[in-house]
Chains A and B, each alone.
Chain A
Amino acid sequence: MSLLADQLLVLVMLINLVMLGTSRLIFSIRAVAVQGVILGILPGLIHPFSFHLAGITAGIILAKGIVIPYFISNAVRKAQIRREVEPFIGYVPTLLLGAVFTALSFAFAEKLPLAPEHKDLLFVPASIATLLTGFLLLTTRRKAISQVIGYLVMENGIFVFGLLLTEAMPVMVEAGALLDLLVGIFVMGIVINHISREFSSIDTSRLQTLKEE
């Protein structure tokens, strides 16, 4: 089973690279939705069946795979944008950076003092790589929607790390984390709305005009 889980984690990392390399927003959103669905399946693969687990799986697939991507694509449609233009760093350099970070996260995970049963799994490097990818998206992209996606990817990275602990994680914590994410997306949706109304664009670099002199 853990072999299948590792393969899915490799897929997660590949999706990271896809998101770094693409310029089309809708494609990014779909990619993040797929990543969410994979993350939803993962707990079922590594832990024995329980109703708690089934609930978590259903909740995650619903939130990460359907609801949140739906909200974001709605926002994309309303703001009438298709592509991320003029990122701070070009697509190819970010792609290369993403590859470097993924490699580094493997090196870093090697040195972490992990429990022996987690040692051989890909969970830790995949989680760190996804986290760093989220950071990369947040720092290099200009549009607010891309940043929401970056935020989602980052959260996915944290979630992967949390998978190690799913057994010990009570439902309330799980639900709390998901709710947190959902509210975060809502708030960002509202912020995007306001940015686009105020500046008639959703370019976050324009926000610096708000800075006090």
Chain B
Amino acid sequence: MPPSDTPENTTAPGVEGGSAEDKLIVFDQVVKRFGDLTVLDHLDFSVAPGERVTLIGPSGSGKTTILRLLMTLEKITEGHIWIDGEPFSHMPRGSGLVPASESYLRQKRKRIGMVFQQFNLFPNMTVRKNIMEAPVHVLGLSRDEASERAQELLDLVGLGDKIDAHPTQLSGGQQQRVAIARALAMRPEILLLDEVTSALDPELVAGVLDVLREVAETTDITMLCVTHEMGFARDVSHRVLMFDKGQIAEEGHPDQIFGDPREERTKSFLKSVLENGH
């Protein structure tokens, strides 16, 4: 999947929504402010179906906010987000667009899954119940089907024998692998990975990344990944976006970004990450 340039086709026309047929996700002049703080500053970018994009950049550069906007955990301040040619941050009303209502978002967010830095497993449920919860209550699967799906996914992440354990009985790395299985159980088209190894002890990181490599190789899920694991980013992603101050400072193929960064900001960021032992 060749990385494509963003410029001309991301300025989605407000009414038609047919901004880009070959784009799954389109950010169109997106602004996100928290009070006086501008986190995303008129951001334009798009992601093709099946593309795996890694977002890098210093903390506070807005990477995580992008994922949180896509998961509808935050609302955008200005601009529009489109998914599959349809408005996502907004919804059609009359001849124009209005900010999306909660019920509109509830429909739209089903095709998106997210794995969090802090795992966020439900501690009051077993691993099996954690994974079954959404397939049963959102997709309407029977308990048997959902339980079977849970077992398959746990086998995939190498935790087939932990299905009846409670999250508190698992290590951080195991919890995160369960969280990945839980997100995959919804068969999302888009998977958002928010610093999924940052909270893990160093020796547990590899296991989680191996699982994600496997997912990347065996599925065509579109992935947006915020990470400081540059080796993983290089292996898995089609394209790397370097963020700084709420805008894209540089983007390109991982080999180019990591091997021959052009922007000074990218160079100094990569240098600081390497010095920190990542």
Q: Do these two chains interact?
A: no
> Which A residues are closer than 8 A to B by beta carbons?
none
